[in-house]
Amino acid sequence: MKMFLEGKWTDKPKKIEVRNPYDNSVVDTVPKGDGDDVARALSFAERGARVMAKLSGYERWRILRKAADLMAARNEELGRLISTEEGKIIAEGRLEANRAVETMMGSAEEAKRLHGETIPLDGDPGGAKKLGFTLRVPCGIVVAISPFNFPLNLVCHKVGPALAAGNSVIIKPATDTPLSALRLVEILLEAGLPPEGAQCITGSGGEIGDPLVSDRRVRKITFTGSREIGDRICRLAGIKKVTMELGSNCPVIVMPDADLNKVAVAVAATGYANAGQVCISTQRVLTAGKVYGDFLSALGPKVEALTIGNQLDEKTKVGPMVREVDAIRVEQWVKEAVGGGARVVTGGSRRGAVYAPTVVADVKPTMRISCDELFGPAVAVTPFGSIEEAIALANDSVYGLSAGIFTENIEWAMKFAREVESGNLHVNWGPQWRADLMPYGGLKESGFGKEGPRYAVEEMTELKMVVFHLGG
């Protein structure tokens, strides 16, 4: 595919190969953009911002609504594209394509709801005869940088609200998975988006990232990706609005009164989807000592039953990781934990980029598989004594994106909700659950700012305060 730059599909002599992670076959190529392309994109986006700001809410709604309809009609094609470039199983590819429709639909609705409020200035001692209200206006140029693991829906979570708010957006998709983002741009143009409204530049983030995020014309950066790159972007961004959706090592707490079969089903579902490459994957299972053995007995068979293989085969439950080097990393971290006294309950083997779904028990909180972000198909099980200890273990992390607890006790559930330092909290399910309309984002070094169309639109707009000085 070509990249979309300055309102035109643009090719370059230098290419990047996009590969199917399962068999390493080349799916397609994209141009390798460079610093000159960034400069061109930024100049064009200045014009784009002016064009987009002139569109009415109704026009923005119509474009996004039509795009959502076109995406819904192309669900199977989009689902296969996602699975082929990313490696997630086809059922998850279709699900992501469906969720992306909801994200775009939700964004369309927000295009009609951009409003300010009247401010009761007469409540101020000097405010009599003043009339005040706020106006919500677009930021201008939005840079949207997305990760590999949800190549369509996470791009929609940025592009949908950015366009709903009347911005011009420059998309920088992950190099491993740029095709879904480029297809989205095609769809938006077909839906009537002015060509000035969006650009999609492909190329290595290490090369084109810095000039893109440091440019003063950019008024908003929305980034989803690793903490390391997020940290770099924050340092370079200067004075502009930034949203950071970063990683985590999400915990789930299993209290002694939990229904262990239900917990095992939930952990098998939330620890291994997309081969564990979900920012809110269950990674640390903190289990009450009283039920520790019973829980491992319930979990083992459920995880063993997850068949591995080609992601496009309907029978496969866990496909390859995005790159073999990541599967090798997961293998090393598991081996390191075993070397330190942990034990593999099931899994622990690797073939190419496919790492078998793995349960590691007796994990110490200081082991890398527990304290760093694993981002792979393994969960680390650790025993605890009291709820205070469980909460302390859950909070013993620089991250705070999502967490879960299994209990029937409302006191424990509320204590968990109040005291666990996490942006999303789930009672009686694992941390990996998201409705695309909810406010979603992390605490601590998992980031700041919220996604979900209603909340992202606020992040993608500025608030102006207008005061009428009436009465002479």
| Residues engaged in binding ligand NAP (CB under 6 A) | 145-149, 154, 172-175, 204-206, 209-210, 213, 224-226, 229, 232-233, 245-247, 279, 373, 375, 401, 442, 447
Shortest Å distance, C-beta 252 to ligand NAP: 16
Q: In 311-452, where does DSSP find H-type helix?
A: 324-339, 368-371, 387-395, 410-419
Say whether 245 is catalytic. Answer: yes
How many Å apart are CA 459 and CA 465, to the nearest integer? 17
DSSP class of 381? E
The end-to-end CA distance of the chain, in Å, is: 63
How many Å apart are CA 233 and CA 211, to the nearest integer? 10
Reading the block at residue 345, the tokens are 């309950």
Beta carbon nearer to ligand NAP, 152 or 387: 152
Beta carbon nearer to ligand NAP, 33 or 138: 33
Shortest Å distance, C-beta 292 to ligand NAP: 28
Beta carbon nearer to ligand NAP, 213 or 258: 213
Q: Which residues contact 186 (CB under 8 A, 6 or more apart)?
A: none
Q: Give the DSSP per-residue string, 276-343.
A: G-STT---EEEEEGGGHHHHHHHHHHHHHT--BS-TTSTT-SB---SSHHHHHHHHHHHHHHHHTT-E
461-469: strand order across its sheet: 118-119, 130-138, 461-469
Beta carbon nearer to ligand NAP, 402 or 407: 402
From its phi and psi, is residue 422 left (phi > 0), alpha (psi between -120 and 50) or beta? beta
Helix or strand holding residue 182 (H, E)? helix 179-190
Among 250, 279, 371, 459, the one annotated catalytic? 279
Shortest Å distance, C-beta 318 to ligand NAP: 18
DSSP class of 399? -
Beta carbon nearer to ligand NAP, 246 or 303: 246
CB neighbour class for 324 (10 Å; exposed up to 12, middle 13-18, buried from 19):
middle
Shortest Å distance, C-beta 232 to ligand NAP: 5
Shortest Å distance, C-beta 112 to ligand NAP: 26
Q: Which residues contact 235 (CB under 8 A, 6 or more apart)?
A: none
Beta carbon nearer to ligand NAP, 98 or 409: 98
Say whether 234 is catalytic. Answer: no
Shortest Å distance, C-beta 451 to ligand NAP: 7
Shortest Å distance, C-beta 399 to ligand NAP: 9
How many Å apart are CA 138 and CA 204, to the nearest integer? 28
Beta carbon nearer to ligand NAP, 347 or 447: 447
The helix, strand and coil proportions of the chain, stated in percent and rounded to the nearest 5, come to 40, 20, 35
Among 92, 110, 196, 245, the one annotated catalytic? 245
Beta carbon nearer to ligand NAP, 245 or 362: 245
Report long-range pairs for 8-14 (Cβ below 8 Å, ≥24 apart): 8/195, 10/37, 12/37
Shortest Å distance, C-beta 248 to ligand NAP: 6
Q: Which residues are catalytically annotated? A: 245, 279
